[in-house]
Amino acid sequence: MDRHDVLTVSEVARRSGFAASALRFYEDQGLITASRSTGGRRRYERNVLRRLAFIRAAVNIGLTLAEIRVELASLPDSRTPTKADWQRISRHWRTRIDDQIGALERLRDGLDSCIGCGCLSLQRCAFSNPGDIAATTSEAPGAAYLPSGLRRAQPAG
């Protein structure tokens, strides 16, 4: 139990790849926890790294932080995910990715059929009016259908 068992903000930041400000933000949001030193500094337990890896993975899948909080909270005793937890959840995520791929494939197929016709009719064109995915008009403001990260296009080549 020497001091290698606790980690500072900068250590966790370096080893997790998250910015220190993000770590504080996640703590605010209840995604991770930290104890404090006598001087009020954050002291992270080693397992926070695994928890952050989980968060990173969930973000990659496309979960919102709110959803991630729910997933973490759903773990028995709100514990940091074990191997078994992780396997259960990752199977669930796998389904989610498959769904996303399916949606993109439908979009692509719609596009293919439109390349032929070139109509872009609001009423008829399956591509400009893909009602099976979601209505832009509903839900929260801002935010589109598709990737924002994947969207950033080809940086080189």
Partner DNA sequence: GCTTGACTTCAAGTTCACTTGAACTTGAAC
Partner DNA sequence: GTTCAAGTTCAAGTGAACTTGAAGTCAAGC
The residue ranges that bind DNA (CB under 7 A) are 8-11, 19-22, 24-26, 34, 37-42, 59, 63-66, 136-137, 140-144
Q: Cβ 21 to DNA, closest distance in Å?
A: 3
93 binds, among DNA, its own copies, none (CB under 5 to 8 A by kind): its own copies
Which is closer to DNA, CB of 118 or CB of 141? 141
Q: Is 54 among the residues that bind its own copies (CB under 8 A)?
A: yes
Q: What is the DSSP string of 39-100?
A: TS-EEEETTHHHHHHHHHHHHHHT--HHHHHHHHHHSGGGPPP-HHHHHHHHHHHHHHHHHH
Residues from 90 through 149 that contact its own copies (CB under 8 A): 90-91, 93-94, 96-101, 103-105, 107-108, 111-112, 114-115, 118-122, 125, 127-130, 133-137, 139, 143-149
Which is closer to DNA, CB of 40 or CB of 157? 40
Q: How far apart are CA 98 and CA 92, in angstroms?
A: 10
Q: Is 79 among the residues that bind its own copies (CB under 8 A)?
A: no
Q: Is 8 among the residues that bind its own copies (CB under 8 A)?
A: no
Say if residues 43 and 79 touch (Cβ distance below 8 Å). no
The residues, any chain, with a CB within 8 Å of residue 27's CB and separated by 6 or more, are: 33, 34, 42
Which is closer to DNA, CB of 14 or CB of 113? 14
The residues, any chain, with a CB within 8 Å of residue 126's CB and separated by 6 or more, are: 110, 113, 114
